[in-house]
A and B are shown apart, each in its own frame.
Chain A
Amino acid sequence: MKSIDVFGYSFNAIKLRKLRSALTTLGVIVGIAAIVALLSITQGLQTTITSELNQGLSANTLIVRPSSGNDIGGGFGQGISGTGFSLYSNYTTEINSLSPDIESSVAVMSRSGYIQTENLKQSATIYGIDFNQYAQVYPTFKAETGYIPTDPLENQAVVGTRINQPGQNGTIFFDAGNIINIAWVNATVLPPVDESYTAVVAGVLEKVGGFGSNGPSDTGVYIPIETAQSFFGTDQCDMIIVTLKDSDNATVTSVSKAITDHFSNQVSVTSPTAMIDMLSSVFDTLQLFLVGIAAISLLVAGIGIMNIMFVSLIERTREIGILKSLGMKSRSVLSIFLAESAIIGLIGAVAGIGLGYGLAAIVAQVISSGVFGGGGGALAITPLLTPTVIAGALAFGIGISVIFALYPAWRASKLKPVDALRYE
């Protein structure tokens, strides 16, 4: 029997049992939709996070911090060192001389603090940096309004976009050229004192995104490092960002080692690439776990298909007898049953991919609109439906359907025509 006739015959049989076929297909749809939805959300999330991280972190940089046992370097250093070792701003010169692969290095001081104007008090992270060097390391350190002073006055400051516009909703509290109070609570003396000074906003940064963990941040206030040293009353810095001439793995590894060796293992050196790699592998594991759970529902669908095929086999025993008595070969009977489940699998997979992507889009919309955590667009996820996912979902849907139909189909093909015809 020709393949097209096999499929035609199978399709006809499916059409006759519309409700039953629809319910069987629904099982596949749910399974595939769950997998597709989870995959496209996690992949979309992964892409969003890595791209934001990539923006915030330059691949050819290393972050040097006092070693605190926390190698991943999440969060902002608070100048607390686990080993009693401190980094000083002038170590940059030492570091620069460690390897010819080092382009430059820049010290960063940071403190939690806040800024204040007539009608706004907004918490912020205050960074002390060299504006020029910092801008070279991070291309995102770029002014949207105003400018970034190349030779800053000591009272000039640059702020992130969530500082002058905390809601990101168009309400701008101050802009370049305005005067703000920059303040932090000095807890190194007892009792702690609020220290503040008046600064002129030279520029407001372009929006960076939610994950600029070591690079420029939307909630950062940037002041010249000399101002920071006197304002915070210390020469200690929290990290030194080292720019490399090359971002390949060998350079990253050798320079990292040179720096840790130089400071006798009292510093930790983090490469953003390693961090992104690690994050990716965390996502991969998460994805595998979620898809594994979703796959269980597809397994259930497969068992449903097997069940329905057995019912069909019993109902159609006589029909199989007729087909065989007309000269149909066993393998054609097998093909007819397999084709039926393949059609169910195909329809289920196609509908499942559509439904799954739809679900993912809704979930992404909900997350992005900030229902959870009130991030207000901090995390804009676009669900990602890659060709691999589509092909995989199709193959999986059809594959599961066909695999679970194999045994019933084989049983059907092995029916003896005499017995099958006698069956009522």
Chain B
Amino acid sequence: MISKNVAVVEALNVKKTYMLGKVPVEALRGVNFRVNQGDFVSILGPSGSGKSTMLNLIGALDKPTSGTLFIDGVDIGRLNDNQLSDLRRRIGFVFQFFNLIPRLTARDNVELSMSIADMGKSERRKRALELLETVGLKERINHKPAELSGGQQQRVAIARALANNPKFLLLDEPTGNVDSKTASEVLALIQNLNKEHNVSIIMVTHDEKLARQAKRTVKMFDGEINSDVVN
């Protein structure tokens, strides 16, 4: 059910080659792929399949070696450092290890991404509170990451990713570091965000069971896309 919607991500023959010492490693060997507004796509693959490289490119953390990658309609290969930073503010990146700033409270962590985007103090305080309420952490706003469980940290990370009204959420192994009960809660939250709030979701994982929960699964192997199926 590929809709004729606006594409939030579009990859055209994207290749990425790393230099591992003096040996070039082809992490992506020409990937074609499209994610539309409102989609919930999982990118599935074993380690070494190129999915982490894919994740970094979609997160605008890196540029392709060749090919064209449009994110929110912009060819990231043509962007400079500053423009890439601006683009990242429109991407809700949720890291595998949450990557919260340890010395900041849950609320300040959520506020941080808004303060980076130049939002005023009172506005971002209010929004941080709303977001933490949405992810069910209203009671934990003044706790630091070390005082939160893995699942709670994951939710703070999701709230932070949503703060700047991103074009899509990009999740890296969202359930990789939480127990199975929490994992299903987090998944329910993600599905709810997609269904109720029409947030586009791209989820990178090696967990086949989790991947099938998305609307669509893209399987990667050895730097190429093997299959792209609607679940």
Query: Contact at B99–A322, with CB atoms within 8 Å?
Result: yes
Name which of A106-114, A168-176, A180-188, A328-336 contacts chain B: A328-336
Query: Contact at B88–A327, with CB atoms within 8 Å?
Result: yes
User: Least Cβ distance of A271 to chain B in Å?
Assistant: 65
Query: Contact at A5–B85, with CB atoms within 8 Å?
Result: no
Total A-B residue contacts, Cβ distance less than 8 Å: 65
Q: Does B116 make an interface contact (CB < 8 A)? A: yes
Query: Contact at B61–A325, with CB atoms within 8 Å?
Result: yes
Q: Does A1 make an interface contact (CB < 8 A)? A: yes
Q: How far is the CA of A321 from the CA of B89 in the complex (A)?
A: 14
Query: Contact at B101–A328, with CB atoms within 8 Å?
Result: no
Query: Contact at A421–B99, with CB atoms within 8 Å?
Result: yes
Known A322-B99, A325-B88, A329-B82; contact A5-B61, beta-carbon cutoff 8 A: no
Q: Does A417 make an interface contact (CB < 8 A)? A: yes
**Chain B residue nearest to A329 in the complex (CB):** B85
Q: Please name 25 pairs of A and B residues whose Cβ atoms are closer than 8 Å in the assembled complex, sorted by A.
A: A1-B118, A2-B115, A2-B118, A12-B103, A12-B104, A13-B103, A318-B99, A322-B95, A325-B59, A325-B61, A325-B93, A326-B89, A326-B116, A326-B160, A327-B86, A327-B88, A327-B164, A329-B81, A329-B82, A332-B116, A416-B62, A417-B61, A418-B62, A421-B61, A421-B99
Q: Does A189 make an interface contact (CB < 8 A)? A: no
Query: Contact at B81–A326, with CB atoms within 8 Å?
Result: no
**What is the predominant secondary structure among interface residues of chain A facing chain B?**
helix
Q: Mark A399-423, 1 if CB is under 8 A from B, else 0.
A: 0000000000000000011100100
Interface centre among B81, B85, B88, B113 (most CB of A within 10 A): B85
Query: Contact at A418–B85, with CB atoms within 8 Å?
Result: no
Q: Does B218 make an interface contact (CB < 8 A)? A: no
Q: Does A323 make an interface contact (CB < 8 A)? A: yes
Q: Does A162 make an interface contact (CB < 8 A)? A: no
Q: How far is the CA of A326 from the CA of B62 in the complex (A)?
A: 14
User: Least Cβ distance of B101 to chain A in Å?
Assistant: 6
Query: Contact at B85–A328, with CB atoms within 8 Å?
Result: yes
Q: Does B32 make an interface contact (CB < 8 A)? A: no
User: Least Cβ distance of B8 to chain A in Å?
Assistant: 16
Q: Does A130 make an interface contact (CB < 8 A)? A: no
Q: Mark A1-37, 1 if CB is under 8 A from B, else 0.
A: 1100100010011001000000000000000000000
- Of residues 66 to 110 in A, which have CB atoms within 8 Å of B's CB atoms? none
Chain B residue numbers with a CB within 8 Å of A328 are 85, 116
Count, chain A residues at interface, CB 8 A? 24
Q: Does B117 make an interface contact (CB < 8 A)? A: yes
**Chain B residue nearest to A8 in the complex (CB):** B115
- Of residues 5 to 61 in B, which have CB atoms within 8 Å of A's CB atoms? 56, 59, 61
Query: Contact at B82–A319, with CB atoms within 8 Å?
Result: no
Q: Does B112 make an interface contact (CB < 8 A)? A: yes
Count, chain B residues at interface, CB 8 A? 26
**Chain A residue nearest to B99 in the complex (CB):** A322
Chain B residue numbers with a CB within 8 Å of A326 are 88-89, 93, 112-113, 116, 160
Known A5-B115, A328-B116, A332-B116; contact A319-B89, beta-carbon cutoff 8 A: no
Q: Mark B150-194, 1 if CB is under 8 A from A, else 0.
A: 000000000010001000000000000000000000000000000
Chain A residue numbers with a CB within 8 Å of B81 are 329-330
Q: Which 6 A-B pairs have the closest CB atoms?
A: A327-B89, A327-B88, A5-B115, A329-B85, A417-B61, A326-B113
Of the candidates B56, B103, B121, which one forms a contact with A16 in the assembled complex, judged by CB atoms under 8 Å apart? B103
Q: How far is the CA of A318 from the CA of B117 in the complex (A)?
A: 20
Chain B residue numbers with a CB within 8 Å of A13 are 103
**Chain A residue nearest to B163 in the complex (CB):** A326
Chain A residue numbers with a CB within 8 Å of B59 are 325
Q: Does A324 make an interface contact (CB < 8 A)? A: yes
Q: How far is the CA of A171 from the CA of B121 in the complex (A)?
A: 71
Interface centre among B87, B101, B113, B164 (most CB of A within 10 A): B101
User: Least Cβ distance of B84 to chain A in Å?
Assistant: 9
Known A13-B103, A330-B81, A330-B85; contact A323-B116, beta-carbon cutoff 8 A: yes
Q: How far is the CA of A416 from the CA of B85 in the complex (A)?
A: 11
Chain A residue numbers with a CB within 8 Å of B86 are 327, 329
Contacts beyond the supplied A326-B112, A418-B61, A421-B61: 10 A-B pairs with Cβ under 8 Å: A13-B103, A16-B103, A319-B101, A322-B101, A323-B112, A326-B113, A327-B86, A329-B81, A330-B81, A417-B62
Chain B residue numbers with a CB within 8 Å of A324 are 61, 85, 88
Q: How far is the CA of A318 from the CA of B115 in the complex (A)?
A: 19
**Chain B residue nearest to A332 in the complex (CB):** B116
Query: Contact at A1–B116, with CB atoms within 8 Å?
Result: yes
Chain B residue numbers with a CB within 8 Å of A318 are 99
Chain A residue numbers with a CB within 8 Å of B88 are 324-327
User: Least Cβ distance of B172 to chain A in Å?
Assistant: 10
Chain B residue numbers with a CB within 8 Å of A5 are 115, 121
Chain B residue numbers with a CB within 8 Å of A323 are 112, 116
Q: How far is the CA of A323 from the CA of B88 in the complex (A)?
A: 10
Of the candidates A2, A12, A327, which one forms a contact with B85 in the assembled complex, judged by CB atoms under 8 Å apart? A327
Query: Contact at A327–B61, with CB atoms within 8 Å?
Result: no
